[in-house]
A and B are shown apart, each in its own frame.
Chain A
Amino acid sequence: MDFRDYAKQLLNDTSKSDCLKLALMIYKAGQVWGGSDTFHNSDKIVDGLLAGLTEFSSIGLTGTTASDPNYRVGVTGQRFGTSGFKPEYQDYEPASENQVRHFVGFFAAGYSVGVPLGDVAVYLNEGTVRRTADVRLGEMASSLGGNFFGNYKQLAQDVWHDVCGQSSNLNLP
């Protein structure tokens, strides 16, 4: 099953929280794009997550590239939400509740330009440095992105612990 089909399946799965879905999609992205050398394929993993779960397929020093609208999952129409995230990352405003999208965008920013600049991007994107749910989540995502070197299994566990707030290890398929 490719990433898009897997993400669509998760989107329709009401038994799992949105944060669990995020962790599982990170793991799936690593399986799909990581290949045998996840360190050198980490760009592909990040870009794959971006293209599937946001409006962009790359974020970098030279700007952004739009993703294929037909490939995106959970960005318009039926969308991912805020369930399962740690309370400080939850946003219940209906036009802003897709925390999967927020996480992936800011994760990619941190990965592409490093943690301090990723944080700057968070503040500019949100229009504030006030610690709202989106800013807090953006800082965490930027930090994880800045320290991502292809170990997608560890990243899925880190998201499960630090973003979803779970103490046990995630049982990965």
Chain B
Amino acid sequence: MCLVNLAWTVSLLIVGCVTQRGDHVIRTWETANKTFKVRVNEYDERRSIVLPHYYYSFDGAGIESNRWHEIMTVRTDEDIEIPKDQVRFVNDRVGYLFMVGKYAVTTDSGNSWQVWDSDENTPNNRYPNERFIKQVNVNTDGNGTIQLASRSNPKDTIELRTNDYGINWK
């Protein structure tokens, strides 16, 4: 039994190290403004351990193009609906999107995207995934706010501000 358990542990460690996004698209959704578009694909997980995770890949492309490029990918514990209300266009040049702890913005019609990760940028962050993005508001002049909520305490919310569409939050 010990040998079996040892083998299982080793296999778990190997699997744990290589757990990754699968190829099966569970859901897909696409939206666009006049100049660029955003697609969200939800994928399954390859080699789950106990409970599967789900991967939400946000991709961008020019309005006439089918050459999608990845903006960001977010992993979740649960199979949730694609957060369509979290992909927003400010005008023809500016758009932003967010999910769990990541925010991405373009100010050049989707040619380039800047990704902001709450894990790396939240003041006094104690551990990964400590906070998630609860709400974002960005105005046409580039000013806006982002609310970061604690996973463990719903009353503990931090608000940061931007004046450059969310490329930087302070």
Whether B132 lies near A93 (C-beta < 8 A) is yes
User: Of residues B4, B9, B77, B81, which shows the largest number of chain A Cβ atoms within 10 Å of its Cβ?
Assistant: B77
Measured CA separation A133–B151 after assembly (Å): 9
Whether A120 lies near B78 (C-beta < 8 A) is no
Measured CA separation A98–B51 after assembly (Å): 12
Chain A residues contacting B154 (CB-CB under 8 Å) are: 92
- Name the contact of B51 in the complex, choosing from A55, A95, A128, A130 (C-beta under 8 A): A55
Shortest CB distance B12–A (Å): 5
Shortest CB distance B154–A (Å): 5
Whether A113 lies near B8 (C-beta < 8 A) is yes
Shortest CB distance B6–A (Å): 10
Whether A96 lies near B151 (C-beta < 8 A) is yes
Which secondary structure characterizes the binding site on chain B?
A: loop
Whether A124 lies near B15 (C-beta < 8 A) is yes
Does A170 reach chain B (CB closer than 8 Å)? no
Which chain B residues numbered 32 to 81 have a C-beta less than 8 Å away from chain A?
Answer: 48-52, 76-81
Interface residues on A, range: 35 or more
User: Of residues B76, B81, B127, B151, which shows the largest number of chain A Cβ atoms within 10 Å of its Cβ?
Assistant: B151
Mask of A35-77 contacts with B, CB within 8 angstroms, 1/0? 0000000000000000000111001010010000000000111
Which chain B residues numbered 116 to 170 have a C-beta less than 8 Å away from chain A?
Answer: 127-129, 132, 149-154
Chain A residues contacting B127 (CB-CB under 8 Å) are: 128, 130, 132
- Name the contact of A95 in the complex, choosing from B9, B50, B80 (C-beta under 8 A): B80
Whether B8 lies near A64 (C-beta < 8 A) is no
Q: A92-B154, A124-B13, A130-B127 are in contact. Are A55 and B100 (CB under 8 A)?
A: no
- Name the contact of B76 in the complex, choosing from A77, A88, A95, A106 (C-beta under 8 A): A95
Shortest CB distance A130–B (Å): 5
Measured CA separation A113–B8 after assembly (Å): 9
Measured CA separation A106–B19 after assembly (Å): 18
Does B16 reach chain A (CB closer than 8 Å)? yes
Measured CA separation A75–B26 after assembly (Å): 14
Chain B residues contacting A55 (CB-CB under 8 Å) are: 51-52, 79
Q: A120-B9, A120-B12 are in contact. Are A94 and B80 (CB under 8 A)?
A: yes
Chain A residue with Cβ nearest B99: A95
Chain A residues contacting B150 (CB-CB under 8 Å) are: 92
Does A161 reach chain B (CB closer than 8 Å)? no
Shortest CB distance A72–B (Å): 10
Chain A residues contacting B9 (CB-CB under 8 Å) are: 117, 120
Does A143 reach chain B (CB closer than 8 Å)? no
Whether B12 lies near A95 (C-beta < 8 A) is no
Shortest CB distance A154–B (Å): 24
Q: A95-B100, A124-B12, A124-B16 are in contact. Are A79 and B78 (CB under 8 A)?
A: yes
Measured CA separation A122–B79 after assembly (Å): 19
9 A-B interface contacts by CB (under 8 A): A56-B52, A76-B79, A102-B77, A109-B50, A120-B9, A120-B12, A124-B49, A125-B49, A130-B128
